[in-house]
């Protein structure tokens, strides 16, 4: 059974600081996704990582994937209040796409002014 773990579960940080959220998973997979969820809302896709060594950046967020270590990171640079949300990673068990996702526990990020 595929297990996906995120840490930390909760993160409170000041504006302007940098931090990293970690996502570990238990089986081989080359497909990992990062999502953002605001309270009461559905998921917003942030990044799709499809190969070992993949790195993607969008604004203050950067995601990477190390399939050998079974680890993905989401790095936040110079955080701003608008980034406050819950962040989920999700792993797809197959490498073909359009398969079910197993989600991590989520990281609730609060940016303090």
Partner 1 sequence: GAVVSQHPSRVICKSGTSVKIECRSLDFQATTMFWYRQFPKKSLMLMATSNEGSKATYEQGVEKDKFLINHASLTLSTLTVTSAHPEDSSFYICSAGDPGTSSYEQYFGPGTRLTVT
Each residue 70-99 as x (binds partner 1 by CB under 8 A) or -, in order, gives: ------------------x-x-----xxx-
Q: Does 8 interact with partner 1 (rule: CB under 8 A)?
A: no
Beta bridge partners of 7: 22
**Residue 63 and residue 49: Cα distance in Å, rounded?**
8
The one segment of 18-26, 54-62, 70-78, 105-113 that binds partner 1 by CB under 8 A: 105-113
CA atoms 95, 42, 104, 49: torsion sign: positive
Q: What are phi and psi of 82, to 5 degrees?
A: -60, -15
The token pair that represents 93 in the structure block:
């068990």
The one segment of 19-27, 38-46, 58-66, 68-76 that binds partner 1 by CB under 8 A: 38-46
**Contact residues: partner 1, CB under 8 A:** 33, 35, 40-43, 45, 48, 50, 88, 90, 96-98, 100-106, 108
């Amino acid at each position: 059974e595929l297990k996906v773990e995120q840490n930390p579960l909760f993160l409170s940080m000041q504006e302007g600081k940098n931090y990293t959220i970690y996502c570990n998973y238990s089986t081989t997979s080359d497909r990992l996704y990062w999502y953002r969820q605001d309270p009461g809302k559905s998921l917003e896709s942030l990044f799709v990582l499809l190969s070992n060594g993949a790195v993607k950046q969008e604004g203050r967020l950067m995601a990477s994937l190390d399939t050998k270590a079974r680890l993905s990171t989401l790095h936040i640079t110079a955080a701003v209040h608008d980034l406050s949300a819950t962040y989920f990673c999700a792993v797809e068990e197959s490498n073909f796409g359009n398969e079910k996702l197993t989600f991590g526990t989520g990281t609730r990020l609060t940016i303090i002014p």
